[in-house]
Amino acid sequence: MGSVNLKAMQKIALIRGDGIGPEISDAVTEILNTACPQLEWVPVEAGLGLIEKIGKGITDEGIKTLAETRISLKGPTTTPVGGGHRSINVTIRKTLDLFVNVRPVRSIPGVETPFKNVDMVIVRENIEDTYGGVEHRQSEDLAQCLRFITRSGSIRCHRYAFEMARREKRKRVTCVHKANIMKITDGLWLDAFREVAKGYPDIQADDIIVDNCCMQMVSKPQQFDVLVLPNLFGDIVSDLGAGLVGGLGVASGANIGTSGAIFEPVHGSAPDIAGKGLANPTAMLFSAISMLRHLARIDEANRVERALLATLGNPATRTKDLGGTLGTQDFKRALIANL
Ligand code: NAI
């Protein structure tokens, strides 16, 4: 009998995305191919180009591939403001039931910001709330948006936050809400949190109103450990979190559900710098590192992370958004040299 190959090829669906998406996706896949030769990329077309061709941002076949591979890496996709098509992200997250979005907010050695020693994780509910875009006009001058918060959706998100806290040896989970004003919807969200917290006596559970949370985050962010938020607050507060640790160029995320996960940066398609070779691939690379850990490829994840931190730690090999001089390609080359 021949020797058994313990690590089989791992299929990963890849959405390169719009704007800076293709530039950073190509850099990230090249880095990963160098460090982990057993990854097989399955391209899935999604984004503006497809909308222009067929009128929707992702095909049924594309969704099927994401569901079958179960693990995907995604670049940002563009959603026009005000009108136009529905967000591709919202479609994918809802269709695949990716019910939480996990966004770590950690200080990175060498990346200068006014805040030191920040280490929190934002757990955002990913498919409910006003974010589904269920809106209509009652009249020319009155628009209405429906907000959905369910007990079951809230419970599974809170449970994920507590389980993650336990797994990562974190001590505290804070529920963020606006239940003083939105007494019924955020009231249900908070009520579900308190119910779930009873099952985790080893973890401190408390809550905070979202506006105070924002103020506390920019005054003393070190106090927070795990934050769990409804969809829209989570979207906004995680960009605030990104700002604490170096900006959108470094903020990673993961959409997780029971039947799969999609790893993607927090930032969007950055049309202001698209095609200029300036985009920082760090956020997408941190997302890819989380993906490798999710796949239990711990040694490979650690190797890529060490090289990334060494590259960011050297002022000569930083991208422009972090005060350096390098563009996407040179940053990638410096990182591969550090592997
Ligand atoms: P954005 O995140 O694309 O850009 C905000 C600012 O951050 C810009 O100045 C941009 O140049 C900078 N930036 C973002 N990523 C960067 C990177 N990797 N390196 C260096 N600088 C970076 O937000 P914006 O402009 O509000 O949205 C643009 C489009 O992206 C919109 O259509 C929006 O809907 C979409 N979007 C998509 C997301 C996704 O697919 N997950 C998430 C957020 C927005």
For residue range 310-320, list pLDDT tens digits in order. 999 999 999 99
pLDDT, tens digit, 9 for 90 and up, residues 14-60: 999 999 999 999 999 999 999 999 999 999 999 988 988 888 899 99
Tell me how far apart the 2 most distant CA atoms of the chain are, in Å.
75
Of all protein residues, whose CA lies closest to atom 26 belonging to ligand 1?
268
pLDDT at residue 86 greater than cutoff 90? no
Torsion 164-167-168-173 (CA) sign: positive
Mean pLDDT, residues 159-188 taken together = 98
Number of other residues whose CB lies within 10 A of the CB of residue 180: 11
What is the pTM (predicted TM-score) of this model? 0.94
Distance 1 CA to ligand 1 centre (A): 52
What is the token pair recorded at 182?
């939105």
Distance 64 CA to ligand 1 centre (A): 27
60-69 vs 88-95: helix crossing angle, rounded to 10: 50
Q: Is 321 in the pocket of ligand 1 (CB under 6 A)?
A: yes
pLDDT at 259: 86
Distance 72 CA to ligand 1 centre (A): 20
pLDDT at 323: 93
pLDDT at residue 167 greater than cutoff 80? yes
pLDDT, tens digit, 9 for 90 and up, residues 240-290: 999 999 999 999 999 999 989 999 999 999 999 999 999 999 999 999 999
Q: What is the DSSP letter of 37?
A: T
Return the ligand 1 atom nearest residue 77 CA.
40
Give domain 1-99+251-339's CATH number out of 3.40.630.10, 3.40.718.10, 3.40.220.10, 3.90.1150.10: 3.40.718.10
Fold designation for 114-244: Isopropylmalate Dehydrogenase (3.40.718)
Q: Where in the chain is the domain with CATH 3.40.718.10?
A: 1-99+251-339, 114-244
- Using left for φ > 0, alpha for ψ between -120 and 50, and beta otherwise, residue 70 falls in left
pLDDT at 40: 97
Return the ligand 1 atom nearest residue 78 CA.
32
pLDDT at residue 81 greater than cutoff 80? no
Mean pLDDT, the chain, integer: 95
**Residue in 329, 335, 323 with CA at minimum distance from that of residue 249:** 323
Q: Is 132 in the pocket of ligand 1 (CB under 6 A)?
A: no
The pLDDT-based confidence of 1 (bands split at 50, 70, 90) is very low
Measured distance CA(157)–CA(226) in Å, rounded: 12
Q: Which residues are 145's β-sheet partners?
A: 135
Measured distance CA(191)–CA(179) in Å, rounded: 10
